[in-house]
């Protein structure tokens, strides 16, 4: 295990950035916010990048930066969105380092409250449909994410 990177992710609505900032301070390491880094390099917002290049283009941008950080070998904390582990290549890099799941102890209701307060959600279901439809889609997402995280952490 290389373990130069401490990669922080979590379910939608989890305090990923707060946990990443805390780990950065605790270990005296620089913090890389993956989405901000992608936007800075690409010149477009994540939303625009996904609209123009699809989710595959976005996942590829995540992978390229993770690969670059891992190859540099300089320790840092990386804050990632909730879908980064769906990409096999990114997951491989993350598994060679240290993965931290933020908000593991939060209930679905707490995650929903946090996610609902996010004014610029990238999850389309947060903008469309009835409240009941949004809650069902959210619950389905959280269950899929938790299963994914369990499979990676084990």
* Residues 14-28 pLDDT 10s: 999 999 999 999 999
Query: Cα separation of 144 and 36, whole Å?
Result: 25
Q: What is the dihedral of CA 94, 105, 103, 129, to 10 degrees?
A: 110
The whole domain housing 77 covers: 5-153
Provide the 3-class DSSP secondary structure of residue 92.
helix
Question: Which stretch of DSSP H or E encloses residue 8?
Answer: strand 5-10
Cβ–Cβ < 8 Å for 61, 38: yes
User: Quick one: angle between helices 131-153 and 88-95, nearest 10?
Assistant: 50
Looking at the 3D structure of the chain, how many domains does it have?
1
Percent residues over pLDDT 70 in the chain = 92
What pTM was estimated for this model as a whole? 0.90
> How is residue 22 written in tokens?
């805390």
CATH number of the structural domain spanning residue 86:
3.40.50.300
Structure confidence by residue, pLDDT tens digits, 90-117: 999 999 999 999 999 999 999 999 988 8
Contacts of 127 (CB under 8 A, 6+ apart): 121
How would you classify the pairing of strands 76-79 and 98-102?
unpaired
């Amino acid at each position: 295990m290389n373990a130069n990177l401490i990669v922080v992710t979590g379910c939608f609505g989890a305090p990923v950035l707060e946990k990443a900032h805390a780990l950065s301070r605790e270990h005296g390491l620089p913090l890389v916010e993956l989405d901000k880094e992608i936007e800075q390099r690409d010149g477009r917002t994540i939303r625009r990048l996904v609209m123009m290049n699809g989710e595959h283009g976005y996942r590829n941008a995540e992978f390229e930066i993770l690969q670059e950080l891992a190859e540099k070998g300089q320790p840092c904390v990386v804050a990632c969105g909730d879908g980064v582990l769906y990409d096999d290549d990114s997951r491989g890099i993350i598994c060679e380092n240290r993965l931290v799941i933020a908000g593991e102890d939060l209930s679905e209701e707490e995650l929903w409250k946090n996610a609902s307060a996010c004014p610029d959600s990238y999850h389309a279901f947060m903008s469309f449909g009835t409240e009941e439809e949004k809650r069902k889609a959210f619950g389905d997402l959280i269950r899929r994410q938790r299963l994914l995280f369990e499979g990676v952490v084990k």
